Structure 1
């Protein structure tokens, strides 16, 4: 059986706010650790029937980057759900939600730019 190891290094400031996030994987084609401004990791605990999560983002992550990150994550979660279940109606619902979420974000940005 093959084994892959994923390593995540988080550098934090004195207030324990992430300054930087870097990750690497033994099965990755990248030679060096990859930088990231945010991460979301979920594990399923089948005994407790609960999702266990780690959500971190660096202090230099911009709001527009966070909106892009969430939009793309929601879209890929929908794809994953579709591959696992074949319930394309729910995949469409999830993707429509993600698109609506992103449009609302864009509208807020336009309104804030006009007000500012």
Structure 2
């Protein structure tokens, strides 16, 4: 069992619950944020191994949160970020890359697809402790 810390920022309660259940079933420690503002607060105060952001959220979009994170100089500045989005146009993908998003997953996606992505990203990160 891993004790990786994952932050999920998603404003849609049903999807957030699905993500939470999927990840917790695999033994991950999950923190939730229901908008971009809360995501920033949590990222400023606690270390995470992986961050999952929805593109379209109140307070700040996933892109804005990622841009802030990459320039924050904080504990999570270099952590992998997965962006979940229904906006699958090329310009959105380019924007996400410019913001520092590690992986871009288009909605709808399957929970298994997300788990594969999470495991792949986490296996590539070295634990400090």
Which range, TM-score by smaller chain?
under 0.3
Kindly name which structure, 1 or 2, has the bigger radius of gyration based on alpha carbons.
Answer: 1
Where relative contact order (Cα < 8 A, 6+ residues apart) is larger, the structure is 2
TM-score by length of 1: 0.27
